[in-house]
Amino acid sequence: MTVRVPAKVNLQLAVGPLRDDGFHDLANVFHAVSLFDEVTASPADSLTLRVEGESIEGVPTGDDNLAARAARLLAQRLGVPAHAALTIRKNIPVAGGMAGGSADAAAALVACARLWGADVDLRPLAARLGSDVPFALLGGTAIGTGRGEVLTPVEVSGRFHWVFALADGGLSTPAVYAECDRLREARGERPGPPQASPDLMAALAAGDAKALGAALANDLEPAALSLRPALRDTLEAGRAFGALGALVSGSGPTCAFLADSADHAESLVAALTEAGVARSVVAAHGPVPGATVL
């Protein structure tokens, strides 16, 4: 049983104050894009995991892999042995702020549910695994509230074209949030309840790429730039080459650029590659569906 699952880019990530449970309230506008991992679940006498693909250094292959955790959680919910051979084929950047690990967990839930003949609501299990996992099930475009796991689909017209500049190495999501809190405290900022941008919602509904580019926002970007200053050069290069909008994706270090067409996206890929401001550069489009059985 093979399931394809997309990466995400955060069109807006509004971060509220730190909560007592250690999380932050968020208004997180997720957008699924056409960079995909595939997870295959096959019959087995135990739970095994294999990871394939390029640039998979840093992907855990033991019990702490999120896809393996998803399989065990589903088996516990069903009262069955967690017997499956999981194979993850990676194409989503690792530790790149594009929720690749969360995507794999969502795909593992769907694949194992099919493998084990289970008809069960996977959304509560996804939320237990992580804040980004429910969106990987849903796909499309959605606002995530709470810590990001409570989803409301968003109306989108047409297709948007993206370019992603992938950096060497990753950034720790907890470290980026901690740096965000530190920077805010140093500036004396007291963030209020996070809210989705009306301008962003209007641009998505109208399919207006120029307006969407102007409305892109990420409260974690200053923290990511503080921890990885070289990302400033990447963002500035994309803007100089005509991107309609540019931001760090999620907690980074991937940088996302909005193009006005597929041809413009390909020219941005070529220009950013020539400029040498990223390890690699790829084009994609969105929105696309969530975890899908192939």
CA–CA–CA angle 19, 140, 85 (5° rounding): 85
Secondary structure of residue 294 in the 3-state scheme: coil
| Residue 253: closest CA among 135, 154, 169, 146 | 169
Sequence-separated (6 or more) residues with CB below 8 Å from residue 86: 39, 40, 41, 47, 48, 49, 50, 67, 68, 71, 108, 111
Secondary structure of residue 59 in the 3-state scheme: coil
Q: Is residue 215 within 8 Å of residue 12, measured between CB atoms?
A: yes
- How many CB atoms are closer than 10 A to CB 182? 12
Distance CA 12, CA 194 (A): 10
- How many CB atoms are closer than 10 A to CB 243? 26
DSSP 82-137: --EEEEEEE-SPTTSSS-HHHHHHHHHHHHHHHHTT-----HHHHHHH-TTHHHHH
- Residue 230 has, within 13 A of its CA and on its CB side, a CA count of 13
Active site residues: 8, 132
Structure tokens at 124: 């509560």
26, amino acid identity: L
CA distances in angstroms from 163 to 199, 201, 234, listed in the order given: 22, 21, 12
